[in-house]
Structure 1
Amino acid sequence: MSNQVIAAQRFGIDLGGGHFIHGEVKAVDDGTVKPVLVLSHGFKGHKDWGFWPEVSRRFAEEGFYTISYDFARIHARNEGQDERVVAAVSTVSREVRDIEAVVNAVRKGELPFANEADPERLAILGHSRSGSSSIIYAAEHPGVGAVVVWNGGSTPALPAGGNGEQLSYHDQAIIADIESNEARFDVANKFQSLSVPALLVQGTNDNERLLAHNKRLQEIAPDQHFVSIAGGDHTFGAVHPYEGATRELDEAFAETVQFLRTVY
């Protein structure tokens, strides 16, 4: 579908309390109802980081109603909100809530080109930490049809550093969130409990912690789908500012489309 004209329109979701999610929908505006794909960026990224603008367009060309968005922490940071406010919306719990807000907006028909979207065929894709958040969300919300994780899927880790006042507000918020949600954030347990198909795409040159978690998930849920990208690092060789697709990124994209085709 690469010869199709892609329509794109930005949107905002008011979460209350001065918090917003800003995103963009891309789709072939041809009047046909399409499966929905929600793309969630990594912890250090944003919806316009590196490969995301191109990847979201390419998924739209493949026939998906594609949503890319910034987690609420991005708006808070860009608006120069107080450090403690930014910290409070930077937790895993808040990330899961942000995914829920986007999915709910799809189901209510509140996003652009709503007539092009089929909420009954909805998949979520998360990179890095949002891969773990996507697994947690899908395990807790049976309406999701499929989960894709790019270089993620580990149980959230505590930030490195000292204790007490030596920690930033950011690290304190993340630590408190993880420590109070130990069972909920057991990603291996959540992954094993999934009742929907999942695909984990993992670069072989990613960090050892993620590789170890990926191996663990393969052991406990062998019926799920796993793909190794030879030579792929945490961003499949892509950089920001973007310099174009890499072989590893193209392979991750192709494997993801093939998987989603089997689901929808």
Structure 2
Amino acid sequence: MRIKNLVLDRTDNKPIVWDAFFNKNSEQKPLVIFSHGYKGFKDWGPWNLVAEQFKKANLFFVKFNFSHNGGTAENPIDFPDLEAFAENNYSKELNDLDEILNYLLSQDNEFLKEINTNNITLIGHSRGGGISIIKASTETRIKKIITWASVCDFSKRTATIGNLEAWKKEGVKYVLNGRTKQQMPHNYQFYEDFKAHENLLSIKLASESIMVPQLIIHAINDPSVAFNEAEALHKWNNKSKLVEIKDSNHVFDGQHPWNDNKLPKALETVVLESISFIQSTSTEKEL
């Protein structure tokens, strides 16, 4: 089954739009939850083809839009709601990931019988990798963590959005989206929220406390998030496995829109490595 644009409504928060890819056979399958990155969304480029590959491997694959990523329930692609984007922050994204996980494991989820609730993997790309690492470090229900081109430090990215004094004074800073040509707003609350939760949002501290198997995949020539960030993640958790991808970029040669019916070779390698890792029966000691 391929179920698109399901909506998790929440009383005091914006809804979360999500997709589920799985074989409907009443067989409990490992749950995989994918978190997109900065200026990303669940339907970006070849992510649907990626989801199909996990489905073929008999995994229950979920991808979702963070509630304040700029998409809406009516239009989950690109960024029609820049007001919501301006109010996004790391704390909201962690809460979104927590709520989608809670929902998927609850009796409210009509597909619960298809999920092995004791076999849950988080996958995060870029900023979503950092969010997934932090979540995995504090959540006992998570059994494995995989990052694709993940950042290793939120602090330097938060501070480099613009001059802090000017940002505080103006209340908002803008970052150009090179593809859509939109000026993406970041309200100053983004920085305030980070400073208020700086220890919780330390990817280094989270990585050092991860107790489950961790797979780190990164392109050596990534122009957006340098490979040394993957090396830092690997160093902070000596039980992790680092896979280097050669001759590729931050999105493993994907792009948006993606009009091919096949994955780019680099991304196919990333997917195969990830599926193998999830299906492996290796214990933490064996890693």
TM-score computed with the length of structure 2 as normaliser: 0.83
> 1:202–1:219: structure 2 CA closer, same or farther, 3 Å change rule?
same
**Residue in 2 that maps onto 1:144:** 142
Q: Is the 8 A contact 2:22 2:58 kept in 1?
A: yes
Q: 1:122·1:144 contact (CA, 8 Å) conserved in 2?
A: yes
User: Given the alignment of the two structures, is residue 254 of structure 1 paired with residue 261 of structure 2, yes or no?
Assistant: no
- The corresponding residue for 1:231 is 247
Q: Which of residues 33, 37, 40 is equivalent to 1:42?
A: 37
Q: Encode CA deviations 1:22-59: one digit per residue, 9 max, x unaligned.
A: 11111111121111011111111111100111111110
Query: Which one of the candidate residues 171, 176, 183 is aligned to 2:192?
Result: 176
Structure 1 unaligned segments of length 5 or more: list them: 1-5
Residues 102-123 of structure 1 show CA distances to partners (whole Å, capped at 9, x for unaligned) of: 1001110333422111111111
Equivalent AA in structure 1 for residue 268 of structure 2:
D
Among 47, 54, 66, the residue aligned to 1:59: 54
- Over residues 189-213 of structure 1, what are the superposed CA-to-partner deviations in whole Å (9 max), with x where a residue is unaligned? 2111001111111011113754222
Q: Distance in 1 between matches of 2:226 and 2:212?
A: 22
The structure whose residues are more often helix, as a share, is 1
Alignment of 1:1-264 (within 5 A): 6-8=1-3, 10-17=5-12, 19-73=14-68, 74-75=70-71, 83=83, 85-88=84-87, 90-156=88-154, 157-158=157-158, 159-162=160-163, 163=166, 164-166=168-170, 167-168=172-173, 170-207=186-223, 209-244=225-260, 245-263=263-281
Counterpart of 2:46, as a letter, is F
Question: Alignment partner of 2:10: what SS?
Answer: strand
Letter in 2 for 1:255: E
Residues 150 and 82 (structure 1), Cα distance of their counterparts in 2 relative to 1, 3 Å cut: closer
Q: Is the 8 A contact 1:124 1:146 kept in 2?
A: yes
More divergent stretch after superposition (47-56 vs 206-215):
206-215
In 2, Cα distance between equivalents of 1:15 and 1:263: 36
Once residues 95 and 128 of structure 1 are traced to their aligned partners in structure 2, the CA distance between those partners, rounded to angstroms, is 13
Runs of 4+ in 1 over 3 A off after TM superposition: 74-82, 207-210
Residues 65-101 of structure 1: CA distance to partner in whole angstroms, max 9, x if unpaired?
Answer: 1111111013459596672x5422x211111111101
**What amino acid maps onto 2:40 in structure 1?**
G
TM-score, normalising length: structure 1: 0.89
1:165 is aligned with what amino acid?
K
**Contact preservation (8 Å) 1:202, 1:232:** no
CA distance in 2, matches of 1:227, 1:11: 33
Tell me, in whole angstroms, the C-alpha distance in 2 between the residues paired with 1:239 and 1:7: 22
User: 2:25 and 2:97 mapped to 1: Cα distance?
Assistant: 27
Give the Cα–Cα distance (whole angstroms) in 2 for the partners of residues 7 and 216 of structure 1.
Answer: 36
Percent of counterpart pairs with the same letter? 22
Unaligned 5+ segments in structure 2 are 174-184, 283-287
Seen in structure 2, the aligned counterparts of structure 1 residues 200 and 109 have a Cα distance that, compared at 3 Å, is farther
RMSD of aligned residue pairs (Cα, Å)? 2.2
Contact 2:218 2:245 in 1 (8 A): yes
Deviations 1:147-191 (A, max 9, x none): 110000411121432322343361412211222222112111211
Q: Which amino acid aligns with 1:26?
A: F
Displacement of 1:224: 0.8
**TM-superposed deviation, 1:8:** 2.9
